Amino acid sequence: MTRRTGPPQTSKAGRTWRRDAAEGRLREASTVRFRRVFTERDLRAFGRLTRDYNPVHYELRFARHKGFPRRICHGMLVGSMVCEPGGQWAWLASGMSFRFLRPVYVGDAVTCELTIRELDAHGRARAEAVFTNQRGETVMRGELTGRLPVGDDRCLLRRMLEQGDPTNPLGDGHRQTRRRGERSPAATGGSRVRRPARRRGTSRTSAAR
């Protein structure tokens, strides 16, 4: 595997991550670090989405029976933090693995540090993730493999960014679009959609005819 070397880079501003991928600024040792507090609402939403209602996440008496002082978060909920930079980079995953080292409780603040360890000229990549809680304890480790954008992929990402990246709620373009009062486009579109101006003296019913 051909390696690209360079000094470690740390990014705290998620809104730049897609541009980094589009401009080819990602390389071996590129690192992003970000933090998230896991809430009761996150726990409930993840359960509804995955249908994982293990009582260790929802029943205090069961969590205590298993030796935990409080209910614990789903391991994959915490692991899903890697999807934020991965999605912004347009990383096409081929594999993920996680080691759950310590429990994460509702209300814990977890910092994820994701580092690209291998990257070749074809975009094949491997990254490692380290998750730590607010006490500095490592709660999880993960490894990801997949492909990062190259060639035409980057060209398309740049065009999307030039158009305001309207389908990306985490990007600068999306926030600017929302501030101007424009509607988010359909995922298949890619162009911004504006509300048509209603003529004065025209009712909603007659305007629809």
State the pLDDT at residue 173. Answer: 52
Cα dihedral sign for 173, 175, 176, 177? positive
Fold of the CATH domain 9-154:
Thiol Ester Dehydrase; Chain A (3.10.129)
155-193: pLDDT as tens digits: 999 999 999 999 999 976 554 444 444 444 433 333 333
Are the C-beta atoms of residues 37 and 107 closer than 8 Å to each other? yes
Q: Which residue has the higher pLDDT, 8 or 47?
A: 47
Q: Contact, 113 vs 133, CB < 8 A?
A: no
Quote the DSSP letter at residue 198: P
Going by pLDDT thresholds of 50, 70 and 90, the confidence category of residue 50 is very high
Q: Please report the pLDDT score of residue 174 as a whole number.
A: 52
In Å, how far from its chain's centre is CA 148? 15
Distance of CA 7 to the CA centre of its chain: 24
Residue 169: what residue type?
P
Confidence of residue 96 (pLDDT cuts 50, 70, 90): very high
Does 11 have pLDDT greater than 70? Answer: no
Mean pLDDT of the chain: 83
Neighbours of 136 (CB within 10 A): 7
Token code pair at residue 125: 């990549």
Q: End-to-end CA distance of the chain, in Å?
A: 62
For the chain, give every domain's residue range: 9-154
Instruction: Please provide residue 196's backbone torsions phi and psi, each rounded to the nearest 5 degrees.
Output: -65, 140
